[in-house]
Chain A
Amino acid sequence: MKILVVGLNHKTAGVDVRERLAFNGPKLEEGVFGLKKVQEIKEVALLSTCNRVEIYTCVGNCNSGAENVKQFLSTFHGIGRCDFEKALYVHTGAQAIRHVFRVAASLDSMVVGEPQILGQLKDAFDFALARKTTGILLNQLMKKAISTAKRVRTETRIAENAVSISFAAVELARKIFTELAGKSFMLMGAGEMAELAARHLVNNGVTEVMVVNRTYERGCELASEFNGKAVRFENFLQELVHTDIIICSTGAPSYVLRKDQMQKVMKERKHRPVFIIDISVPRNIDPGINKIENVYLYDVDDLQEVVDTNVMERQKEADKAEMIITEEVEKFIRWVASLDSVPTIVALRQKAEEIKGEELEKFRTKFPDLDEKKMKAIEYLATSLMNKLIHPPTAALKDDSEDRDELIAMIKKLYGLNGDEHEE
């Protein structure tokens, strides 16, 4: 039995192909059951997310297995094979195991280290498990994929760095204030990015929200969304005295906050730290403000730089994660190999028992006068000889050695175990 993965993701296929091959809603159940019926497939699980469609299977033969899966996809979704075949990747054996582990550890994701994929993978396997389409191999593969992903999470800092502008803003705010709970926040102006950053701050515990807008009514509207209060534009300086975090995106053509104004504000607030994010282009806040003590001003380029640095850090951590995965893949391969040797051990014992039976039978025919007691002693001797003879090869097969595959082949050849007990 071999593990086979057939799939496509955001790197290999555009969204047009991904959406046509997706298994949404009831299609997922139909898909899993349909695949289970496909020839060659012994076990199956199906992962379908917005970024990837992957079919995890256990097959007797990888080539025909992969062909059958492709054909199934084509028929099931009613798409010509030529329309999606180029986007597909096919992984088998060790490569397939590595792929699943990398997916679980979020090394194959669009944003490396984002945690959702592990949950989606767990759901996909639970779904298959509940429908009994998986077996010993895929279940163990999933268990190992989850534990490897967890190991990656604890042993590397892969998910510790924010890789979006709004999360970077939260991360920076935490480096100034520790906890955002109890902190007051002012949103100046509106705009998608500013709103998103505001939402992240509120989700991370910022309690007091003020919204300043040129149009007071729009300000009120936005404030109600955050359970905050609207502040008239002409009054915002007074409110700044009580504000710890400011996100500015007013779209004004010039500075709305100058250094001298901020200096006064800081004096009034007894120099308690302020974190200002200026997302507007052109900038709305005098960059010189960053020189004032206890004021930390970041513009959109600064935030982008933080994000870029974090992406690089994640890449470094991803390299460490790859090493962990290599280690775990090797362990898993050893486990799979140990499964391979079981049928050979059984066959070897059967063969030995057969020979013993046949020889004892011949002996009995040759010497019919032997009494039962003596016959029992001879039988005992034969069993003992047989056990002693098959013990070394059995022990070698059980042993966790690297050349187990060769060993299995050799023992099969030496003892003439050519039955189909061992599927390859």
Chain B
Amino acid sequence: MGTILFELALTSYFTATIISIYEIFRGMKEASRLMLITAGVGFAIHSASIVSRYLEAGHLPITSMHEASSFFAWCVVLIFFFLELRYKIGIMGSFIMPIVFLLMLSSSVLPREIRPLSPVLQSYWLGIHTFLAFLGNAAFAVAFGVGIMYLLQEHYLKAKRTHGLFKRLPSLQVLDEINYKLITLGFPLLTLAIITGALWAENAWGSYWRWDPKETWSLITWFIYALVLHIRLTAGWRGKKAAILSIIGFVVVLFTFFGVNLTLKSLHTFS
């Protein structure tokens, strides 16, 4: 059942992504609406698939790469819909849905079997730590999409290209505001994820910090976003620079998530 639901969610997100790309090039109001509906349907099915897997496995389904990618994608859509409700920028979907689809696609090619939970993971920290980390990372993922939107709009304004996509992208102020809000949301979540992770590590292995690759890369991510916030407040690094930094930040997030798991040996490596 979970598998069927997962495939259906993947198909819906794929459809939404195709529509969202069409929307970028053709700029039709109807396409935007259709994309939101398809993504909404996908999100509902996706939620059901996570619940179904939770019931099947008996624990939060975020212990394998397949589950983690899928849950990551789910958190991104959740934040996207929150923003959509608040700002109503249909075109934003064109920059977020491809990220969601790629996360789901990577999830779909990874091994899907449910493995028994290792003793160290059998803790209430599993839910708290991972949920905080994924939600934080999802905020950074959306900030990445919004950062790209900012750079595009900024380019159009500087180059004086004022037709097509320029008309449909929101103002620089709105994009910068959303970007800033997402980072101020993601940063404390990531901080809490690191703190709860440290507490859990102390509990499980007897030490707060072991310089495990995942821990190290998470710290690098944390420093990047701390820098974004710091220089924004002190030196006024807003707009374009903030957008570029949020793009770099998310690349590091992706490396921490996929790169570390797939290439480096880490205690965090999912089965």
Residues of B with C-beta under 8 A to A421: none
Q: Which of B160, B167, B170 contacts A160 (CB 8 A)?
A: B167
* Least Cβ–Cβ distance between A153 and chain B, in angstroms: 13
Chain B proximity mask over A284-326: 1 for CB below 8 Å, otherwise 0: 0000001001101010001001100110110000000000000
A391 part of interface (Cβ distance < 8 Å) = no
A143 part of interface (Cβ distance < 8 Å) = no
| B158 & A296 in contact (Cβ 8 Å cutoff) | yes
A422 part of interface (Cβ distance < 8 Å) = no
| Alpha-carbon distance A201/B153, docked complex (angstroms) | 22
* Least Cβ–Cβ distance between A272 and chain B, in angstroms: 7
Q: Which of B113-169 contact A (CB under 8 A)?
A: 153, 157-158, 160, 162-163, 166-167
Closest to A157 in B: B167
Q: Which of A160, A177, A270 contacts B236 (CB 8 A)?
A: A270
| B163 & A178 in contact (Cβ 8 Å cutoff) | no
| B239 & A177 in contact (Cβ 8 Å cutoff) | no
| Alpha-carbon distance A160/B235, docked complex (angstroms) | 37
Chain A proximity mask over B168-206: 1 for CB below 8 Å, otherwise 0: 001111100000000000000000000000000000000
Q: How many residues of A contact B (CB 8 A)?
A: 26
| Alpha-carbon distance A306/B163, docked complex (angstroms) | 8
A-B contact count (CB 8 A): 58
Interface residues of B (CB under 8 A from A): 153, 157-158, 160, 162-163, 166-167, 170-174, 235-241
- Whether A175 touches B172, Cβ cut-off 8 Å, given contacts A296-B157, A305-B160, is yes
* Least Cβ–Cβ distance between B161 and chain A, in angstroms: 8
| Alpha-carbon distance A161/B173, docked complex (angstroms) | 20
Q: Write 25 A-B pairs (CB below 8 A) sorted by A numbering.
A: A160-B167, A161-B167, A174-B171, A175-B157, A175-B166, A175-B171, A176-B157, A176-B171, A176-B173, A177-B172, A177-B173, A270-B235, A270-B238, A271-B238, A273-B172, A273-B173, A290-B158, A293-B241, A294-B239, A298-B160, A306-B162, A309-B162, A309-B163, A310-B163, A313-B167
A13 part of interface (Cβ distance < 8 Å) = no
A172 part of interface (Cβ distance < 8 Å) = yes
Residues of B with C-beta under 8 A to A290: 158
From B157, B158, B162, B163, name the one whose CB has the most chain A CB atoms within 10 angstroms: B162
- Whether A178 touches B237, Cβ cut-off 8 Å, given contacts A172-B162, A290-B158, A305-B160, is no
| A271 & B239 in contact (Cβ 8 Å cutoff) | yes
* Least Cβ–Cβ distance between B233 and chain A, in angstroms: 9
* Least Cβ–Cβ distance between A290 and chain B, in angstroms: 7
